[in-house]
Amino acid sequence: MIARIWRGAVQRREADAYAQYMGATGVPAYSSTPGNRGVWMLRRDVGEHTEFVMFTLWDSLDAVKAFAGDDYQTAVFYPEDDRFLVEGELEAKQEVAAEDVPAR
């Protein structure tokens, strides 16, 4: 299993709108890709900004590539991201799960 992690930040006053935007664009794009095991949009307020972490789980690196393309480490951006983002990592991190323990 592969975890894909991307971080970005928006102005705090734009946080709810950005969350709705990602819920309408990024979340469906992640979740509709075969091999996706889940999508978590995490957020926290830090001063004037709200930081977002998009945390997704995938069956394999091939599934990540089906979502992100062959250059899978490059972040995937959506048309209105420039309107919202004040910070955004240009690369997403991929981490291999060392252990997969099912929930009880």
Report phi then psi at 103, rounded to 5.
Answer: -65, 150
> Cβ atoms within 10 A of the Cβ of 9, count?
23
Amino acid symbol at 62: D
Q: What is the pLDDT of residues 34-64, one digit of tens each?
A: 999 999 999 999 999 999 999 999 999 999 9
In a domain, 67, yes or no: yes
Q: Is residue 102 part of a domain?
A: no
8 Å CB contact between 9 and 50: yes
Domain that holds residue 54: 2-96
CATH number at residue 62: 3.30.70.100
Does the residue 51 lie in any domain?
yes
Amino acid (one-letter) located at 82: D
Average pLDDT, the chain: 95
77-102 mean pLDDT: 91
Q: Specify the pTM.
A: 0.91
Distance CA 71, CA 64 (A): 10
- The reply to whether 89 falls in a domain is yes
